[in-house]
A and B are shown apart, each in its own frame.
Chain A
């Protein structure tokens, strides 16, 4: 390609740049604070918490069904069912509130 055309392309791009409306960029400190905010409040990545709570709830339901259909179980079995259920409920509440805050 002739040198003259190379110069013309460069010149045309410079003209297009010069012709555009002026624009003021935000200052580094403004951008820094925006980015820090976005880094702090970005949607949390998928964690194991949701899987663990789902499994706990499933185990509770399964245990509850087994307990309710098998009347010969001892009272201890009720505690064994309610304990993971409480743990699952607390875990879920914490997870939901954390996601809601972010």
Chain B
């Protein structure tokens, strides 16, 4: 892969990939590290000549695996408490959103992000996470329920 091809790939994928890593890990420093490592692994893999449509899920998969490796090793906290929202328009609402994301399990964060923010299909999510399509369906359903429970006020949940 030459610099021009890399530049096109990077511009098409880096922003969404970084946001995914940052929101799932909750830390910008990890997102920076994992982003660079993901592209490095793509170049090393010998698959750097693949089409953009194939490279994108492959990069998400590398990033997901790298995050799992870091959590398994216990290198990182799974979510940083200090990742406070900066929006000034509706601070309470934004804080709620960040807290909800914080309280979800890491796998649920990954799946919900890929489904809702990246607009991936079940098959694409399966490619990006290394799960099979059936597992994605089941885990995504659980993640939705988990998120719904967090978003539903306590009183209403019981009613």
- Cα distance A17–B96 in the bound complex, in angstroms: 12
A15–B93 CB distance below 8 A: yes
Question: Of the candidates B3, B40, B145, B147, which one forms a contact with A39 in the assembled complex, judged by CB atoms under 8 Å apart?
Answer: B40
Given contacts A19-B97, A35-B40, A39-B43, contact A1 B144 (CB under 8 A): yes
B100–A18 CB distance below 8 A: no
B94–A29 CB distance below 8 A: no
B94–A19 CB distance below 8 A: yes
Q: For residue B7, which residue of chain A has the nearest CB?
A: A28
B116–A32 CB distance below 8 A: no
- The B interface, classified by DSSP as helix, strand, loop or mixed, is helix
Q: For residue A23, which residue of chain B has the nearest CB?
A: B28
- Cα distance A9–B96 in the bound complex, in angstroms: 12
Which A residues touch B19, using CB under 8 A?
17
Stretch at the interface among B53-61, B68-76, B82-90, B121-129: B82-90
Q: How far is the CB of A42 from chain B (nearest CB, A)?
A: 8
Number of A-B contacts (CB under 8 A): 101
Q: Is there a chain B Cβ closer than 8 Å to A21's Cβ?
A: yes
Q: How far is the CB of B129 from chain A (nearest CB, A)?
A: 17
Q: How far is the CB of A27 from chain B (nearest CB, A)?
A: 9
Chain B residues 108 to 159 lying within 8 A of chain A, measured CB to CB, are: 112-113, 116-117, 141, 144-145, 147-148, 151
- Cα distance A15–B145 in the bound complex, in angstroms: 19
Which A residues touch B145, using CB under 8 A?
1
Q: For residue B99, which residue of chain A has the nearest CB?
A: A16
A13–B86 CB distance below 8 A: no
Which B residues touch A19, using CB under 8 A?
85-87, 94-95, 97-98
Which B positions have Cβ atoms within 8 angstroms of A? 3, 6-7, 10-11, 14-15, 18-19, 22-23, 28, 31, 35-36, 39-40, 43-44, 83, 85-87, 93-98, 100-101, 112-113, 116-117, 141, 144-145, 147-148, 151
Known: A8-B151, A16-B85, A21-B86. 10 other contacts (CB 8 A): A1-B145, A5-B144, A9-B147, A12-B97, A19-B98, A20-B22, A21-B83, A25-B14, A31-B14, A39-B44
14 contacts between A and B (CB under 8 A): A6-B144, A8-B151, A9-B147, A12-B151, A16-B100, A19-B97, A19-B98, A20-B85, A21-B83, A23-B18, A25-B14, A28-B11, A32-B10, A39-B43
A-B residue pairs, 6 tightest by C-beta: A19-B85, A19-B94, A15-B97, A28-B7, A16-B97, A28-B10
